[in-house]
Amino acid sequence: MTRLLTKSRLREEILRLMDRKHHWAWPFLADGTVTVDQLKRHFQQEYSVYVRDFPVFLARIHGQNPPAPVRRMLADNIYEEDTGGLSLGKSHPELFLTMMAGLGWPARDFENVHLLPASKRYRAWLDTVSNRRDWVVGSAALTIFVEGSVKDRAEIADPSKPKTAEEIEAIVQSHPLRKYHGLTPDAMDLIRAHQLVEAGHRHDAYAMVLNYATTRPQQQAVLGALKKGLALWQAYRDAVAKACGVPKPTR
């Protein structure tokens, strides 16, 4: 019989998966190599696959009536994503479209986007996992995997502290969209909102899962879901990179 993992062991297994949430095309998207026109395909897929509906995914998990501390953490996340009530007073999808408008693309360019086959598969997984009967699995998928990154291990080891206004503006000024594509700072409130609410956010995500995945089947389901999500995400990012015309480096 497979034994129950300790919290520290389960966290380590999750972090090993998150260590792999990195994609070869990211440097090309962030160093000015890719033109702003190429980036449009990337942003259209991102918006339609998960940015627009991320609050809905979270609300599905909240609606499964998890324990009160979890509902509170999810409610805060939904409130911020859907209203910006903890930061700048506008929803994150709205701020995303404002940033896109700053690059010259009106909101209508993000309606009825044709999803790539790999994008459809990743989106289907997001819909399925957020509707899982066991909220712990959905929470792991959305708050750990989707909102997390390869930087999770460092963040868990040394949590970031709230940033000052000056620090946030420095991040805005050095952002690739500002640095290489001329995006004006007044269109970058999405970046500011993320910086305003990120402190401690990763710890909340991990706490939701580690404190309530209390059976071995739950732990296996969490790890299985994250493994599947990682594979689908990698395929999705491969497809988007190809659609943007980013050549995959040869080894």
Those residues whose C-beta lies under 8 Å from the C-beta of residue 177, and which sit 6 or more positions away, are: 99, 103, 183, 188
pLDDT for residue 1 is more than 70: no
pLDDT, mean of residues 41-45 = 96
For residue 171, give both structure tokens.
């991040």
In a domain, 82, yes or no: yes
pLDDT value of position 192: 97
CB 238 within 8 A of CB 119: no
- What band does 111 get if pLDDT is binned at 50, 70 and 90? very high
Task: Please check whether residue 140 lies inside any domain of the structure.
Answer: yes
Between CA 81 and CA 91, with CA 86 as vertex, the angle to 5 degrees is 30
Q: How confident is the model at residue 118 (pLDDT cuts 50, 70, 90)?
A: very high
List the domain range (segments joined by +) for residue 168: 7-242
62 within a domain of the structure (yes/no): yes
The predicted-structure confidence for 45-82, as pLDDT tens digits, reads as follows: 999 999 999 999 999 999 999 999 999 999 999 999 99
Which pLDDT belongs to residue 160? 82
Contacts of 210 (CB under 8 A, 6+ apart): 7, 10, 11
What pLDDT sits at residue 200? 74
**Residue 133 forms part of a structural domain:** yes
The total of structural domains in the chain comes to 1
| Of the candidate ranges 90-94, 131-135, 236-240, the one whose mean pLDDT is the lowest | 131-135
Domain for residue 247, yes or no?
no
Question: Is there a domain that residue 34 lies in?
Answer: yes
Whether residue 177 is contained in a domain is answered as yes
Confidence at residue 216, expressed as pLDDT on a 0 to 100 scale: 95
Phi, psi (rounded to 5 degrees) for 111: -95, 140
Q: What is the pLDDT of residues 132-146, one digit of tens each?
A: 889 999 999 999 999
Average pLDDT, the chain: 94
Asked if the structure places residue 251 within a domain, the reply is no
Q: What is the pLDDT, as a whole number, of residue 61? A: 97
**Can you give the CATH number for the domain in which 83 is found?**
1.20.910.10
Q: Is 203 helix (H, G, I), strand (E, B) or coil?
A: helix
Residue 250 has pLDDT above 70, yes or no: yes
For residue 6, name the pLDDT band (cuts at 50, 70, 90). very high
